[in-house]
Amino acid sequence: GHTVLPLASGILMLLTMFLLHMSYGYFVETRGKRQITGLFGQYVPPELVDEMAKAPTQYSLAAESRELTVLFSDVRGFTTISEGLSPADLAELMNGFLTPMTEVIHQARGTIDKYMGDAIMAFWGAPLPDGEHPRHALEAGMQMIARLEGLNEAFRARGWPAVNIGIGINTGQVSVGNMGSAFRMAYTVIGDAVNLASRLEGLTKKYGVRLICGEATKEAVPE
């Protein structure tokens, strides 16, 4: 006689297992990506979020000590600029300035720490490790200055004042992580190396230059 095997139930079980496995993988991956986006999305560029989502458990907001490169940039004579513009024009000028500057930092794989009015604070080497953080920060600084030329042409065409910036860059050991108060937390860096980057930015006014970097940065990128 012939043996009759009930194939349908077996195939159905295999199909169900396959679908469960696929959907589980999909949801785990998207959850990992959502978590990373939630934690770091406002600081780091989308490409880095994608990269980090591949191993979400490696990244946390817990504070740790790391060698990073920090960049501060500031608009020269901002008070004078702001006094000559209407609030709506000033907001438009600031957006028109901060957006391309942020794009430059993101393209160089930098993390935006914060905007302080007209000032930008960014760093390299966290949350994603970067073996060449001094070089990438310097490249971003020089690119920011280069982008300013085209920006100023557009500003002048609208009857707005030209914008000039000073940039300070420094490399050193800092504390990086989620810091703040019970009311507001931010992923940020603190330490002497950070303060020095800010001081170097201030010194650009004194020396009449656009960019000054610290000794450790210079040693890391000798050329």
User: In angstroms, rounded to a whole number, what is the distance separating the alpha carbons of residues 22 and 28?
Assistant: 10
Amino acid code (one letter) for 164: N
User: In angstroms, rounded to a whole number, what is the distance separating the alpha carbons of residues 180 and 5?
Assistant: 66
Token pair for 8: 């349908």
Better pLDDT: 191 or 43: 191
170-200: buried (b, 16+ CB within 10 Å) or exposed (e) per residue?
Answer: bbbebbbbeeeeeeeeebbbebebbebbbeb
User: How far separated are the first and last CA of the chain, in Å rounded?
Assistant: 86
Contacts of 216 (CB under 8 A, 6+ apart): 134, 170, 171, 172, 193
Give the mean model confidence (pLDDT) for residues 144-150. Answer: 95
Better pLDDT: 46 or 81: 81
Is pLDDT of 46 > 80?
A: no
Confidence (pLDDT) at 48: 75
Q: What is the pTM of this model?
A: 0.81
With tokens 């656009």, the residue in question is 210
Confidence (pLDDT) at 58: 79
4: alpha, beta or left? (left if phi > 0; alpha if psi -120 to 50)? beta
Better pLDDT: 205 or 57: 205
* C-alpha to C-alpha distances, 189 to 5, 8, 186, 201, nearest whole angstrom: 66, 60, 9, 17
120-147: buried (b, 16+ CB within 10 Å) or exposed (e) per residue?
Answer: bbbbbbbbbebeebbbbbbbbbbbbbee
Is pLDDT of 49 > 80?
A: no
Is pLDDT of 212 > 80?
A: yes
Q: Across all residues in the chain, what is the average pLDDT?
A: 89
User: In angstroms, rounded to a whole number, what is the distance separating the alpha carbons of residues 213 and 142?
Assistant: 11
Quickly state the pLDDT bin for 218 (edges 50, 70, 90): very high
User: In angstroms, rounded to a whole number, what is the distance separating the alpha carbons of residues 166 and 135?
Assistant: 18
Length of the chain: 223
With tokens 């770091």, the residue in question is 40
Confidence (pLDDT) at 98: 95
* Contact yes or no for 66/174 (Cβ under 8 A): yes
Give the mean model confidence (pLDDT) for residues 158-168. Answer: 94
Q: What percent of the chain has pLDDT over 90?
A: 60
pLDDT digits (tens, 9 = 90+) for 113-138: 999 989 999 999 998 899 999 999 99
* Contact yes or no for 178/195 (Cβ under 8 A): no
Of 34-48, 52-66, 153-167, minimum mean pLDDT range: 34-48
Dihedral sign computed on CA atoms, order 126, 132, 137, 139: negative
Confidence (pLDDT) at 60: 78
